[in-house]
Structure 1
Amino acid sequence: MSSTPTREVARRVFAREFNDATYTFKESDDDRAPVYVLLPTGARANRIFVVGTLTETEDVGEDSEYWQGRIVDPNGGTFFVYAGQYQPDAAATLRELEPPAYVAVVGKPRTYETDEGDVNVSVRPESITSVDETTRDRWVVETAERTLERIERFESETADEYVEMAGEQYDLPVENYRRAALEALESLEDEETPAEASP
């Protein structure tokens, strides 16, 4: 008898780290076992939560609607989201929203290997919601905090299995992601309307 799986927590992550997360794995041989991407800072992610500026949308489907959205975070990094008939609400949102607009996306990471052997990472959205600037700013602060926490754990003596896995799979300096987090926070300070982070 199998118990109903609980929904995974949605990880907050900036585009720079997300797009480097090209390694996927399962934790069991069960066909329905969740597929995780391994973040280079040493955490697994089955769902992610991102907020950014939707800069363009396009119906890239051939036989039926299949919407692509381009979402940019404060560092200029890009998330690509794809929604079709199996994500009707998200597809409808991409169809109806007029870029540029702030959006919040919860979705599942997907990897795709190109003919050249590169791995592209995208998001299959569970939900896309139009949000305001305050929500975007709060996401930036919280995502920076989570990223710096992951880096601290990555660099600590008590590395867990996912940190070790990241060390084996990626030859990427985590300093890149620390810089991305700090640059994102600085971008908020540069704006005229500083938003207070909620506790």
Structure 2
Amino acid sequence: MEGNTGGSSGDRRPSPPGQMTDMEPAERVFAQEFSAARHTVESGDASYVVTPGGAWCRRIFIVGALTGRRGSSDIMQARIADPTGTFQVTADWQSPDAVETLGYIEPPAFVAVTGRAALTGSGPRAYATVDAEAVNVVDRTVRDLWVQKTAGATLDRLEALEKGGGDERTATVIGLYGTTDEDIRNIAGMVRTALESVCPGATAEIAPIAGRDLLLAALGSGEIPVDDAVALGVRSGLSAQEARRALEELLAAGECYQPTLGTIKPI
């Protein structure tokens, strides 16, 4: 395995145990920690963005407030803020549904994003980004739950770092960043700040979205253009692709019809 340490190519690092497969869960990490990442570690065909707090990110799951977005039908760039900072997110032709979905979401709005972690540049000028694979509108409760679970995952990593690198991944992080007790205390302070920002007792789990029922409830009773119906689905938590599929299901089930070409109306 070869580690990219921001300009020192060929620096050998120990391989992380258990090379990640596509089935490995997406990592949870706060924006401040993710933005501080300056190193990647490669193993086989897997490239990990490694953060100072010990997160190994190939894919990442974030929830926060969409504060701005720009772009076109080919590529969208977005800023998503959590209580600690801001993620830089890009959606491109590789994930057309994410591009379309972002185009329908008007900031500010809480969103959940799953994507690939990437590091651009090297050394002090390196910056971490998220290449979005999926985007969904969520509510504040989901955001608060994400903050709580991400805080727990971060504290678990800090505990491993505090013990001095008992496993290979943790030892690699310490070697890359020269982690000190003060660094660990600073990241723990970030976690406290994040937890203080959310409502206590937010323990609801994220339930699967029943797209057809959710969209039908959002449509109301009037006749509207199909694109406006898709936009309502996106604002309700569906991706653009899921909203279009839900429309097809509603039409097939006879719960909606098209009074004129390009419009839809519930029965």
| Superposition TM-score tier, normalisation by shorter sequence | 0.7 to 0.9
Higher relative contact order (CA 8 A, sep 6+): 1
**Is the 2:145–2:204 contact (alpha carbons within 8 Å) kept by the matching residues of 1?**
yes
- CA-CA distance at 1:6 after TM superposition: 4.0
Partner residue, 1:69: 78
Amino acid at match of 2:77: Q
State the 4+ residue runs in structure 1 displaced beyond 6 angstroms: none
Partner residue, 2:189: 179
**Is the 1:21–1:38 contact (alpha carbons within 8 Å) kept by the matching residues of 2?**
yes
Identify which of 91, 94, 101 aligns with 2:102. Answer: 94
Partner secondary structure for residue 42 of structure 1:
coil
Partner secondary structure for residue 94 of structure 2:
coil
Deviates more, 1:154-163 or 1:66-75: 154-163
- CA-CA distance at 1:148 after TM superposition: 0.5
Distance of 1:154 and 1:9 partners within structure 2: 21
Partner residue, 1:196: 202
Partner residue, 1:10: 26
Deviates more, 1:123-132 or 1:168-177: 168-177
The reply to whether residue 34 of structure 1 matches residue 46 of structure 2 is: yes
Distance of 1:195 and 1:102 partners within structure 2: 19
Which consecutive unaligned segments of at least 5 residues does structure 1 have?
Answer: none
Partner residue, 2:111: 103
- CA-CA distance at 1:195 after TM superposition: 4.2
Amino acid at match of 1:179: G
- CA-CA distance at 1:157 after TM superposition: 4.9
Partner residue, 1:58: 70
Distance of 1:89 and 1:171 partners within structure 2: 40
Amino acid at match of 1:176: N
Partner secondary structure for residue 27 of structure 2:
strand
Amino acid at match of 2:203: A
Partner secondary structure for residue 110 of structure 2:
strand
Larger strand share, 1 or 2: 1
Per-residue CA deviations over 1:63-109 (Å, capped at 9, x if unaligned) read: x732100000012x010110111110111111110000000011111
**Is the 1:17–1:40 contact (alpha carbons within 8 Å) kept by the matching residues of 2?**
yes
Distance 1:96 1:165, change over 3 A: same
Partner residue, 1:47: 59
TM-score, normalised via structure 1 length: 0.84
Per-residue CA deviations over 1:162-186 (Å, capped at 9, x if unaligned) read: 1111111114512222111111111
Distance of 2:41 and 2:110 partners within structure 1: 31
Q: What percentage of aligned pairs have identical amino acids?
A: 39
Whichever of the two has the greater Rg, that structure is 2
**Is the 1:138–1:195 contact (alpha carbons within 8 Å) kept by the matching residues of 2?**
no
RMSD: 2.0
